[in-house]
Amino acid sequence: MLFNSLTFYVFFAIVLALHNLPFSWRVRKTCLLVGSYVFHTARNPPLVLLRQLQALQDFLETRFIAQ
C-alpha cells in the first residue's frame, strides 16, 4: 500500500474515523495498533511475526525502563 494510492486514503480515513469515535483510550490505542499492523502487513506480509516481536520487545523494554 503506497502513500499516494486511493487504497491508502480509504484505509487512513477508516482508521481516523474509528480513532475519533467516543471510545476509551485503550480502544483507541488498540485501533491504531491494529491499523499499523494492517498497513505494514499490506506492504510485506512475511514480516508480520518480526513486527509483532519487535513491538513486544519495545513494550517490555519500556516497562523495564519505567521501573
| Mean pLDDT, rounded, for 39-66 | 90
How many distinct helices (H) and strands (E) make up the chain?
Answer: 3, 0
Domain parsing of the chain, residue ranges: 6-66
Q: pLDDT digits over 29-46, tens only?
A: 999 989 988 998 888 888
Work out the mean pLDDT of the chain and round it to a whole number.
91
Q: pLDDT digits over 1-21, tens only?
A: 788 889 999 999 999 999 999
Distant-in-sequence, close-in-space partners of 44: CB < 8 Å, separation ≥ 6:
none
pLDDT of residue 3: 82
Distant-in-sequence, close-in-space partners of 37: CB < 8 Å, separation ≥ 6:
48, 51, 52
